């Protein structure tokens, strides 16, 4: 029995050694035949690159740099008809108080169907420059009238047939009909009108620039208003202190554009 157990133990040991040797030879052959290779993993595979937070050295390129998106700059759009533009499209800080779009005027009636203040584009740009100069001193311009359609000029002439104050439409009309004249005054920083020689559309000697009875404060304010307006390309008339004309008015012709029709026109690019 003892001999039988020794024989079995010897067989088991011999089989174990043989199996180990066979396994070693198989692995060796696999390696030699390149059937058992190591899997190489790149160090950065599966990892996100962290942008460099420090300064970029010469020769370096920023990581994950984003190219700026180029946006198209569209030209400023403004409505322009027969050379006329809305003055608030040029300077929206102007105070608009068109007297003829209300009943608060010498006719006692509403004359303009809409409240839109128009001037020739170049005249409006001069007005903006003057207003900018006034604003530097704490003032700003208040507009009572600007471009005036031809049919309105006829209404005014029928009421006041006095060429000192209203131009005869049959004799060439008014500079207002060209869009190069503006009636205005000055406001202080509180929005109050500065004292001037007279009220607007005062068809008397009180509105004359050379009125000898003019109050000293009114004369001072009128002169200040006049100096700045002239410096920015305007001229005056003797009988209305509030009336200013573009110094290049003679270069423009009379245009007849109804104010409500102006609002219906398409907008055009400002060159």
**Catalytic positions, written as ranges:** 240
Residue 62, token pair as written in the block = 């920023």
Show the DSSP H helices in the chain as ranges. Answer: 2-32, 87-90, 121-135, 150-159, 216-231, 259-264
Q: Is 15 exposed, middle or buried (0-12, 13-18, 19+ CB in 10 A)?
A: exposed
Separation in Å, CA 222 to CA 193, 205, 209: 12, 15, 8
Residues 6 or more apart in contact with residue 13 via CB below 8 angstroms:
none
What whole-number distance in Å separates Cα of residue 3 and Cα of residue 8? 9
DSSP string, 158-227: HH---TTTS--GGGT--GGGGT-EEEEEEE-TTSPBPP-SS-TT--SGGG-TT-TT--HHHHHHHHHHHH
Residue 35, token pair as written in the block = 């059937």
What whole-number distance in Å separates Cα of residue 62 and Cα of residue 57? 10
Ranges assigned E (strand) in 45-89:
77-78, 80-81, 84-86
Residues 6 or more apart in contact with residue 208 via CB below 8 angstroms:
197, 238, 239, 241
The residues facing 86 across adjacent strands are 118
């Amino acid at each position: 029995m003892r001999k039988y157990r020794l024989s079995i133990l010897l067989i088991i040991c011999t089989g174990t050694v043989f199996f180990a040797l066979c396994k070693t030879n198989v692995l060796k052959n696999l390696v030699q035949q390149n059937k058992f290779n190591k899997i190489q993993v790149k160090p950065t595979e599966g990892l996100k690159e962290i942008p460099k937070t420090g300064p970029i050295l010469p020769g370096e390129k920023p990581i994950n740099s984003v190219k700026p998106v180029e946006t198209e700059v569209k030209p400023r759009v403004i409505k322009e008809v027969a050379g006329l533009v809305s003055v608030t499209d040029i300077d929206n800080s102007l105070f608009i108080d068109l007297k003829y779009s209300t009943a608060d005027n010498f006719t006692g009636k509403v004359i303009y169907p809409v409240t839109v203040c128009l001037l020739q584009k170049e005249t409006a740009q001069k007005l903006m420059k003057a207003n900018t100069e006034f604003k530097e001193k704490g003032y700003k311009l208040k507009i009572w009238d600007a471009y005036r359609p031809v049919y309105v000029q006829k209404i005014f002439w029928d009421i006041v047939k006095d060429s000192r104050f209203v131009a005869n439409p049959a004799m060439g009309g008014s500079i207002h009909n060209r869009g190069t004249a503006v009636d205005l005054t000055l406001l202080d920083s509180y929005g109050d009108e500065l004292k001037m020689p007279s009220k607007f559309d005062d068809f008397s000697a009180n509105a004359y620039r050379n009125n000898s009875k003019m109050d000293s404060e009114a004369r001072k304010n009128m002169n200040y208003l006049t100096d700045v307006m002239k410096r920015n390309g305007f001229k005056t008339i003797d009988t209305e202190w509030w009336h200013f004309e573009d110094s290049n008015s003679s270069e423009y012709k009379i245009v007849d554009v109804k104010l409500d029709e102006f609002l219906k026109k398409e907008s055009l690019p400002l060159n």
